Amino acid sequence: MSLRYAALGLLAQHPGSGYDLLRRFELSMGNVWSATQSQLYTELNKLAGDGLIEVTSVGARGRKEYAITEAGRAALRAWVSEPDPEPIRNRRLLRVFMLGEVPPAQARAFFEQTVAASERTLAELQGLREDVAWSDTASDRYGRIALEWGVRAASMERDWAQWALGELDADGASAGHDEGHSVG
């Protein structure tokens, strides 16, 4: 259901073809939502069928330019403030839960990799924050706020993984990997 609104939102900012949207998904929205080509074209046809967007012109190579309709804008406005019970699903944390089943060295490696990955993400996003020529438009303002979330999330994750490594050192000496009751 979310892709529907992601596409609608992009068309609200600016009309375009499926192909255009696909690139905008990668560029401006890539850090927030992703879509495959297949899924997007299917959804655009559904959105048009529901009257939330419409084909405004057909160009070369069968290019169909879509624009959002008034009904579409209304649907988008309603969706933005809809309460969302975010299904909890975090693969990284799921793996953390399983760490008791692997040798301690593998657990350490897991957190070391997390630190490294977070630092890469952090560097990338901080680069973006500096390099992008932010305009004074509403979409750029909110794009910047979304990016700030990414920076803070990456930084939090790095700190957490580093803290976890410390925890392993602190009480890891006293406990084995299958059970915590003292072994020696």
Q: Looking at residues 81 to 120 of the shown chain, list those that interact with DNA (rule: CB under 7 A).
A: 87, 89
**Measured distance CA(47)–CA(25) in Å, rounded:** 17
Sort residue 61 into left (φ over 0), alpha (ψ -120 to 50) or beta: left
- Other C-beta atoms closer than 10 Å to the C-beta of 1 total 5
Judged by DSSP in three states, 63 sits in: coil
Q: Does 34 bind a second copy (CB under 8 A)?
A: yes
Q: Does 135 bind DNA (CB under 7 A)?
A: no
Binding residues for a second copy, rule CB under 8 A, total: 75
Q: Which stretch binds a second copy (CB under 8 A): 14-22, 32-40, 52-60, 124-132?
A: 32-40
- Under DSSP, the state recorded for 56 is E
Question: Do residues 11 and 72 lie in contact, with contact meaning Cβ atoms separated by under 8 Å?
Answer: yes
Q: Which residue in the set 5, 18, 44, 47 belongs to the binding site for a second copy (CB under 8 A)?
A: 5
- Decide which of a second copy, DNA, none touches 145; Cβ closer than 5 to 8 Å per partner kind: a second copy
- Decide which of a second copy, DNA, none touches 36; Cβ closer than 5 to 8 Å per partner kind: DNA
